[in-house]
Structure 1
Amino acid sequence: MESIESIKQLKARYFRFVDEKRHDELAALFTPDAKIVTDGIAFGSPADFAGTVRDFIGAAPTVHHGHMPEIEITAQDTASGIWAMEDLLTFPAGENAPKGHNGYGQYRETYRRVDGNWLIESLSLTRFRKDPLENWTPDSV
């Protein structure tokens, strides 16, 4: 149970670091050789993934939630998990602004304990649905 709780806290930090724009700390939640795939796009390293998150969402407000974890300890230092997810991304209105969305999907992950700390060893995010959201004008909020 202690390992499962540690993995839940690891994933909570993942979501929080994305929303708080703490990209270096986000990258540190992964093993150095982690396999990361989101919506079919593979990343070369945790730093590449965190850099892409930084470059894509910038200062835009985001909300990321993980729900209903199914975590299985597969060996003393390995585990797997499935998380239901929801994300909300909105961007300031402007020329060439990305479109926002409210997304729903699932994370499938593996974890490895390294030096006593659980880290994400692989992450695969699949969104099942993306509802478009209007961009916003910061002055009107």
Structure 2
Amino acid sequence: MSSSTDISALLRRIMRLEDIQEIHNIMGRRAYLHSAGRHDREIEEIWSTRDDVVFEPEDMGAWTKLSSIKKSYVNGNPFPSGTKGLMVEHTLTTPVIEIAEDGQTAKGVWVSPGHETFPVTGGPPKAHWSWGRYAVDFRKEDGKWKIWHLHVLTTFRTPFGQDWVETATKRPDYLPEEGQPQDSIGAADRGVSFNEAYHPDRAPK
């Protein structure tokens, strides 16, 4: 093998490592912006500009166009930056990131332990443990990685003082029914493709 071939292979390996690190940073940046209620900056800075992007958050259905994501997730955000009583942190663990051979697309999955505190009308904010998973497709655009398809899947969401087994069998009234699309941030373009939270009567998928 010639030295030029060795150098070429080494450069490809370095590029793949840099790609993986950039994708780590994108997802970390999304976590920070989401916690701050800055969905506008999230869409502007780290999402693809293509109109075939897809965002499917848990039981809300899926938005399948950039314009509808902006309309619902940005303009319809019920908890924008500055909302009193809001605290949302969805952390990222156990990443698996795979870069396509052509270096132009990638896939990643993460487990996300987190907590949420949402203001509610007529009472104190509601605190929850919220665990889930992320399944994400990425595209490289103008040399930068961008989120292309983002699917958020529920592992469990339970009130702070209640375990997830009890929540699965005796769901609080203010939580939407499992598997039912939510229209709190605007009607989705299509229904839920898959989202199955923990339940003691079934095996995990």
TM-score bucket of the superposed structures, by smaller chain: 0.7 to 0.9
TM-score (norm 1): 0.82
| Distance across 1 between alignment mates of 2:37 and 2:73 | 13
| Distance across 2 between alignment mates of 1:12 and 1:24 | 16
The secondary structure found in structure 1 opposite 2:62 is: strand
The secondary structure found in structure 2 opposite 1:24 is: helix
Tell me whether 1:11 sits opposite 2:11 in the alignment.
Answer: no
CA contact 2:54–2:150 (8 Å) conserved in 1: yes
Q: Quick one: percent identity of the two aligned structures? A: 26
Aligned structure 1 segments of 4 or more residues deviating by more than 6 angstroms:
none
The structure that has the greater radius of gyration is: 2
- 5 Å-filtered alignment, 1:8-87, equals 8-28=24-44, 29-32=46-49, 33=51, 34-40=53-59, 41-43=61-63, 44-45=65-66, 46-47=69-70, 48-52=72-76, 54-56=77-79, 59=83, 60-74=86-100, 75-87=102-114
The secondary structure found in structure 2 opposite 1:42 is: coil
| Distance across 2 between alignment mates of 1:96 and 1:35 | 34
5+ residue gaps, structure 2, are 1-16, 162-205
CA contact 2:55–2:149 (8 Å) conserved in 1: yes
5+ residue gaps, structure 1, are 135-141
| Distance across 1 between alignment mates of 2:37 and 2:120 | 20
TM-score (norm 2): 0.58
Deviation of 1:9 (Å): 0.3
Q: Is the strand fraction higher in 1 or 2?
A: 1
CA contact 2:112–2:134 (8 Å) conserved in 1: yes
